[in-house]
Amino acid sequence: MSKPDFVIRNLHVQVEGKEILKGVDLHIRGGEIHAIMGPNGTGKSTLASAIMGHPHYEVTEGEILLDGQNVLEMSVDERARAGLFLAMQYPAEVPGVSNANFIRTALNARRGEGNEIPVLQFHRRLVQKMKELSIDPSFAERYLNEGFSGGEKKRNEILQMAMLEPRIAILDEIDSGLDIDALKIVANGVNQLRSDNIGFLIITHYQRLLNYIVPDVVHVMMQGRIVKSGDAKLAEELEAKGYDWLKQELGIEDETVEVEA
């Protein structure tokens, strides 16, 4: 299998007629971890949702290519089957659908008809991954995210990622609301997957996640653009000094473009 190759060029995105992303460029290859940092309301989560094709986000310009294929022409499920994965900040709850059933259906959709994973093999794998992520076995039969705590939802997102083995994984504020133990478990889950067969885009406010998942490239987003890129040291610098020095350096007064929840 060739290394994943994920390219975003000059991406412009509108929400309800208001332009949020104003020309984003990114290039992520298999084996790389990219982090996008930035204050609230600068367009980070919009980027994640637009890549996955959420219907509220309208791409007005630019392109997204996964392994040379035009992602913007694909429906949401086609994007997933092509290898994109978004670990969401606020995953939906689906009553009556068990976690195991959901993950198996997703996995089989990805594998295609006639190539479904045998049930026992699936359960062995699921149990193994749940163990690695310190997830209680009862999760398998609980209804998808229903009544899950914030931390449980985040771990469940990582579990799905581990099971689905995407080519490009986008983690949207996977660290928000996690205590330090849960953060370590989530980071550990990501690190175990790390290989040339997968590229990561990690969106976060805080540098602390990046203590456990060391990124290859750090981007800073402001006003709907990537305004600075660097290596892992940039994240440390931001943690130590905040964003104001960067704003001054770039001559930015108000960095926001949207009101993030």
Partner 1 sequence: MAKVLPEMEEYQYGFHDPDIAVAKLDKGLSRKTVEQISMMKNEPGWMTDFRLRAFEIFQQKPMPTWGGDLSELNFDDITYYVKPTEKKGRSWDEVPEEIKRTFDRLGIPEAEQKFLAGVSAQYESEVVYHSMRQDLEKMGVIFMDTDSALREYPELFKEYFGTVVPPEDNKFAALNSAVWSGGSFIYVPKGVRCEIPLQAYFRINSENMGQFERTLIICDEDSFVHYVEGCTAPIYSTNSLHSAVVEIIVKSGARCRYTTIQNWAPNIYNLVTKRAVAYRNATMEWVDGNIGSKLTMKYPSVYMMEEGAKAMVLSIAVAGRGQHQDAGAKVVHLAPNTTSTIVSKSISKHGGKTTYRGLASFGPNAKGAKANIKCDTLILDDNSTSDTIPYNEIMNDDVTLEHEASVSKVSEEQLFYLMSRGIPEEEATRMIVMGFIEPFTRELPMEYAVEMNRLIKLEMEGSIG
The answer to whether 26 and 225 have CB atoms below 8 angstroms apart is no
For partner 1, the closer of residues 8 and 51 by Cβ is: 51
Q: Does 64 bind partner 1 (CB under 8 A)?
A: no
C-alpha–C-alpha distance, residues 68 and 184, integer Å: 34
Which of these segments, 26-34, 87-95, 115-123, 204-212, binds partner 1 (CB under 8 A)?
87-95
End-to-end CA distance of the chain: 39
Return the amino acid letter for 73.
E
Give the nearest distance from C-beta 97 to partner 1 in angstroms.
4
SS3 at position 192: helix
CA distances (Å), origin 186, targets 1, 41, 75, 153: 26, 24, 29, 11
Among 2, 18, 68, 92, binds partner 1 (CB under 8 A): 92
> Please, which residue, 176 or 229, has the CB nearer to partner 1?
176
Chain centroid offset of residue 242 CA: 23
Structure tokens at 38: 């930035």
75 binds partner 1, rule: CB under 8 A? yes
Residue whose CB is less far from partner 1, 66 or 88: 88
Q: How far is the CB of 145 from partner 1 (least distance, A)?
A: 8
Sort 177 into a burial class: Cβ within 10 Å, 0-12 / 13-18 / 19+.
Answer: middle
Q: Give the C-alpha distances (Å, rounded to integers) separating 43 from 23, 36, 177, 200, 257.
A: 11, 10, 20, 18, 7
Among 53-61, 208-216, 222-230, 246-254, which window interacts with partner 1 (CB under 8 A)? 53-61
- Rounded least distance, CB 150 to partner 1, Å: 16
Is position 119 an interface residue for partner 1 (rule: CB under 8 A)?
A: no
Select from 1, 16, 55, 114 the one that contacts partner 1 (CB under 8 A): 55
Question: With contacts defined by CB under 8 A, how many residues of the chain interact with partner 1?
Answer: 31
Residues in region 124-153 near partner 1 by CB under 8 A: 143-144
List residues near partner 1 by CB under 8 A: 52-55, 75-77, 79-81, 85-86, 88, 91-97, 101-103, 105-106, 109-110, 143-144, 160, 164
